[in-house]
Amino acid sequence: MLSLDVPQNASNSEFVHNNRILVVEDEDVIRDMIVLALEEEGYEVAIANDGRVALNLLQNATGGSDRSFDLVVLDLMLPQVHGLDICRLLRYQGNIIPILMLSAKASETDRVLGLEVGADDYLTKPFSMRELVARCRALLRRQNFGAQSQYSVRKYRDICLYTQECRVIVRNEEINLSPKEFRLLELFMSYPRRVWSREQLIEQVWGPDFLGDTKTVDVHIRWLREKLELDPSQPEYLITVRGFGYRFG
């Protein structure tokens, strides 16, 4: 059974957030409990009870006719359009909005699949509302880790990264990056010359519940070098610091 366990004085919370969260859940009781818990924390919440409605809301927000969302709480088993398909489509379109996936499927295979198609976190039912709120807060915090301004442009030598547009220009040519590659590069460019360990990069980009091997960082660094460097075997941007990790510049 799900547990609401919201603090007794939550309705008098002093904290008001500007973040807007889309909750996609077809079970009325669960959806209402999630909405209540998030609204008690001060978040603005929109709802969808099936996948098609969720996609329409997300596309309208992306198109500019509605205010954009900062996080999606997405149930896996949905009518009309499956949760995994929504996640795949968003990532294919280059949308890097954080996604917290909910599911009654608790096997390691199901969790890995959800994360591999682009979810940032995976929470199995039953769960407590306190844990859900904490995970939402963590995802939003990571999303805004270095956002002095969401409209800013990060520049370093021949590289320009447009945070709002999710675009990267290298030597006057636009390159295509996956969501994880883009987040890695944004993190590196936000803190030039800082050395990051693999574990720190996993925490910032993949999240603390990542189930894979830390070598996935090395793989993504190699892919980034192939797209950024003139000679990936002698990188000028993504530098390996032996015994510690990686730095940018």
What pLDDT, on the 0 to 100 scale, is given for residue 150?
46
Tell whether 148 is covered by a domain.
no
Instruction: Report the domain count for the chain.
Output: 2
Specify whether 188 is located in the same domain as 93: no
What pLDDT, on the 0 to 100 scale, is given for residue 145?
56
Question: CA–CA separation, 172 vs 155, rounded Å?
Answer: 12
CA distances from 101 to 19, 125, 135, 202, 228 (A): 18, 10, 11, 18, 32
Specify whether 160 is located in the same domain as 138: no
Specify whether 167 is located in the same domain as 98: no
Specify whether 16 is located in the same domain as 94: yes
Residue where a domain terminates, one of 93, 115, 143: 143
Higher per-residue confidence, 17 vs 236: 236
What pLDDT, on the 0 to 100 scale, is given for residue 115?
86
Tell whether 1 is covered by a domain.
no
Residue 55, both tokens: 């996609």
Tell whether 195 is covered by a domain.
yes
Residue 241 has pLDDT above 60, yes or no: yes
Residue 97 has pLDDT above 80, yes or no: yes
Say if residues 85 and 58 touch (Cβ distance below 8 Å): no
Q: Could you tell me which of 11, 16, 84, 18 has the C-alpha nearest to residue 54?
A: 84
Q: Could you tell me which of 217, 85, 205, 42 has the C-alpha nearest to residue 139?
A: 205
pLDDT (tens digit per residue) in 212-238: 788 889 999 999 999 999 999 999 999
Q: Summarize the confidence of residues 50-64 as an average pLDDT.
A: 82
Q: Which domain holds residue 99?
A: 10-143
Specify whether 16 is located in the same domain as 139: yes
Residue where a domain terminates, one of 104, 125, 143: 143
Band the pLDDT of 73: cuts 50, 70, 90.
very high
Q: Summarize the confidence of residues 82-102 as an average pLDDT.
A: 89
Q: Summarize the confidence of residues 61-75 as an average pLDDT.
A: 76
What pLDDT, on the 0 to 100 scale, is given for residue 1?
43
| Least trusted range by pLDDT, from 24-33, 36-45, 138-147 | 138-147
Most confident of 64-73, 138-147, 189-198, 218-227: 218-227
Specify whether 115 is located in the same domain as 158: no
Amino acid letter, residue 108: E
Tell whether 24 is covered by a domain.
yes
Distance of CA 171 to the CA centre of its chain: 28
Note the pTM of the prediction, 2 decimals: 0.55
Residue 16 has pLDDT above 80, yes or no: no
Mean pLDDT of the chain: 84
CATH of the domain at 227: 1.10.10.10
Specify whether 208 is located in the same domain as 112: no
Q: Summarize the confidence of residues 172-192 as an average pLDDT.
A: 89
Question: CA–CA separation, 69 vs 154, rounded Å?
Answer: 23
Question: CA–CA separation, 76 vs 154, rounded Å?
Answer: 35
